[in-house]
């Protein structure tokens, strides 16, 4: 039985998804620190982590638990190929779901903020027709967190766990 949702969030989107799942599934949502003091080795969990340069953050810290499925939270649009590349980049052998988060410039700081601004400026310079949505996202930020995005992972949990 799933004991909790464990998450690693930088600017809040992943935390939002973890809390939404927690409410529906009636299990607590813990960040990594809380998980350490509340969970035991091999406890069954669902892990949600934000994506940084294709790597799901926090994955190495949850190896001691029985991770039943993973939600990767990123800013890019949801596409089959993208989910597959995340699975490969993170060498996963459990079910992976992609949950679109967003970009929150009010909470991004330091180098991370600079990197995003740099990528945004590069895309803006290139000004490709197919990048217009991303150019706007990298300029203004956006929050795509929704109940709709959670449906596939919720269905998997309800059907299998
Ligand atoms: C330095 C940096 C690198 C990122 N790399 C990716 C990436 O490779 N793929 C992606 O989809 N999103 C990427 N993002 C966007 C974040 O994953 C996105 O903002 C996510 O919603 C953050 O979740 P959080 O609010 O829980 O921290 C990156 C963000 C930063 C700051």
How far, in Å, from the CA of 51 to the mean position of ligand 1? 5
pLDDT in tens, 102-118: 999 999 999 999 999 99
How far, in Å, from the CA of 113 to the mean position of ligand 1? 10
pLDDT score at 44: 98
pLDDT score at 111: 97
Q: Exposed e or buried b for every residue in 96-114, given b needs 16+ CB within 10 A? A: bbbbbbbbeeeebeeeeee
pLDDT score at 134: 96
Q: What is the CA radius of gyration of the chain?
A: 16
Q: How many CB atoms lie within 10 A of CB 133?
A: 10
pLDDT in tens, 42-92: 999 999 999 999 999 999 999 999 999 999 999 999 999 999 999 999 999
pLDDT score at 59: 97
How far, in Å, from the CA of 124 to the mean position of ligand 1? 19
Q: Which pTM value belongs to this model?
A: 0.98
**% of the chain with per-residue pLDDT over 70:** 100
Decide whether any atom of ligand 1 lies within 6 Å of the 156 Cβ. no
């Amino acid at each position: 039985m799933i004991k909790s949702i464990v998450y690693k969030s930088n600017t809040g989107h992943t935390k939002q998804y973890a809390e939404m799942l927690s409410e529906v599934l009636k299990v607590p949502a813990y960040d990594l620190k809380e998980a350490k003091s509340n969970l035991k080795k091999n406890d069954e969990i669902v892990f949600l982590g934000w994506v940084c340069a294709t790597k799901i953050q926090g994955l190495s810290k949850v190896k001691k638990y029985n991770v039943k499925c993973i939600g990767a939270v990123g800013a890019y649009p949801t596409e089959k190929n993208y989910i597959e590349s995340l699975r490969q980049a993170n060498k996963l052998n459990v079910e992976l779901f992609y949950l679109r988060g967003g970009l929150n410039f009010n909470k991004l700081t330091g180098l991370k903020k600079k990197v995003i601004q740099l990528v945004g400026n590069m895309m803006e310079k290139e000004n490709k027709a197919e990048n217009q949505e991303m150019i706007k996202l990298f300029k203004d930020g956006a929050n795509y967190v929704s109940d709709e995005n959670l449906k596939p992972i919720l269905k998997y949990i309800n059907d299998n766990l």
